[in-house]
Amino acid sequence: MSILAKSPQAAGVSAPVLPRNPGIPLDLRDVAKIRVNRSAVERRAATLGTRRTVKKDWQAAWLVQAVRLIDLTSLAGDDTPANVKRLCAKARQPVRGDLLESMGLAERRITTGAVCVYHNLVATAVEALRGSGIPVAAVSTGFPAAQTPMDLKLEEIRRSVIAGAEEIDIVISRGPVLGEDWRALYDEVKAFREACGAAHMKAILAVGELGNLRHVAQASHVAMQAGADFIKTSTGKESVNATLANGLVMVRAIREYREQTGHQVGFKPAGGIRAAKQALEWMILMKEELGNDWLQPNLFRLGASALLTDIERQISHFVTGEYAAAHHLPMV
């Protein structure tokens, strides 16, 4: 059996384009009824890395698929056009060609799922990725704190779309969640969705600042009801970012929303995901809770930067039996 056949979904095969999530009217009674059993969630999250594992050829295949799920991200204060061009070159060829050839994947088109940058570097990324089919995602709406006026948030979204961003990662205001003002949160996210136009919208919940798991579940439902195409854990700038417990609550909200409406919503954990082992744990979570449909980049992304280096090191070890030094896995 080939490496490709052992992937959870065929690596290099384009995922189908899904209908947008149109949203539904806000159901305050449904949101008020939401409860989360914290102990059960934490027990389930703790077993994800121990009850299920993938080894040898299977692990290599899953890691190749994980590459395709990465939103390769650079959100640093010292980002420059040169840095972003290098990032885009890595997105085009995220794994060394000789490693792919050794696994029989030389003819497969392996790229990252997207490149994610600040608004001022969207045009640079769009130009660097021209012809690749890799979308550019822009963080928006006063990222990461969301403490800017609403009109500026909406204008930032519109400008990113005009600049060529096909995906917009908006960040919600935490105040309405902490105050349980679900109408305010719904109206905010719906306005962001309208400003995105044809661009897909990922709603960042900043779970580490929402107080408790019940709020995470409620905010997930409200964001989806308002039309979010993806829900995302974190900006990566909070003290607590993507955890399996928060992720479990969010993906179960996605499952409930699909059962209620028939609409599929994507999921993106982000922040602190640096090791290949973590990527596999997130993929196992998606497979077990939502199924193979959510192991494709149209419904699942991993927001990360350092993660790709560790995945490539693990792939190198699979092929050669040795871990490559960092200088053998350059950005370009």
Mean pLDDT of the chain: 93
| pLDDT score at 325 | 77
| pLDDT score at 8 | 64
| CA-CA-CA-CA torsion sign (234, 240, 242, 246) | negative
Averaged pLDDT, 147-153: 97
Query: Each residue of 185-203: pLDDT tens digit?
Result: 999 999 999 999 999 999 9
187 is an active site residue: no
Give the active site residue among 169, 190, 202, 287. Answer: 169
Percent of the chain clearing pLDDT 90 (strictly above): 86
**Are the C-beta atoms of 73 and 303 separated by less than 8 Å?**
yes
198 in any annotated domain: yes
169 is an active site residue: yes
232 is an active site residue: yes
231 beta partners: 203, 267
19 in any annotated domain: no
38 in any annotated domain: yes
Query: Each residue of 128-148: pLDDT tens digit?
Result: 999 999 999 999 999 999 999
CA dist 134 and 235 (Å) reads 21
Long-range Cβ contacts of 106-113 (<8 Å, 24+ apart): 108/4, 108/11, 108/12, 109/12, 110/11, 110/12, 110/64, 110/67, 110/68, 111/68, 112/67, 112/68, 112/70, 112/71, 112/72, 112/308, 113/68, 113/69, 113/70, 113/71, 113/297, 113/301, 113/302
Averaged pLDDT, 108-131: 97
**Are the C-beta atoms of 182 and 193 separated by less than 8 Å?**
no
CATH of the domain at 153: 3.20.20.70
pTM of the model: 0.94
| pLDDT score at 13 | 55
Query: Each residue of 244-278: pLDDT tens digit?
Result: 999 999 999 999 999 999 999 999 999 999 999 99
**Are the C-beta atoms of 9 and 245 separated by less than 8 Å?**
no
11 in any annotated domain: no
pLDDT at 10 over 60: no
- C-alpha distances (whole Å) from 218 to each of 140, 214, 286, 305 are 22, 6, 20, 29
| CA-CA-CA-CA torsion sign (90, 198, 141, 66) | negative
Give the active site residue among 85, 90, 190, 268. Answer: 268
| pLDDT score at 326 | 72
| pLDDT score at 6 | 61
Number of domains in the chain: 1
Which structural domain range is residue 135 located in? 24-328
76 in any annotated domain: yes
60 in any annotated domain: yes
136 in any annotated domain: yes
Give the active site residue among 85, 90, 202, 232. Answer: 232
Burial class (CB in 10 A: 0-12, 13-18, 19+), 161: buried
CA dist 225 and 124 (Å) reads 33
Percent of the chain clearing pLDDT 70 (strictly above): 94
Query: Each residue of 266-315: pLDDT tens digit?
Result: 999 999 999 999 999 999 999 999 999 999 999 999 999 889 999 999 99
Long-range Cβ contacts of 6-9 (<8 Å, 24+ apart): 6/57, 6/58, 6/60, 6/61, 6/62, 7/61, 7/62, 7/64, 7/65, 8/61, 8/62, 8/65, 8/283, 8/287, 8/292, 8/295, 9/65, 9/292, 9/295, 9/296
Query: Each residue of 40-91: pLDDT tens digit?
Result: 999 999 998 787 778 889 999 999 999 999 999 999 999 999 999 999 999 9
1 in any annotated domain: no
**Are the C-beta atoms of 261 and 24 separated by less than 8 Å?**
yes
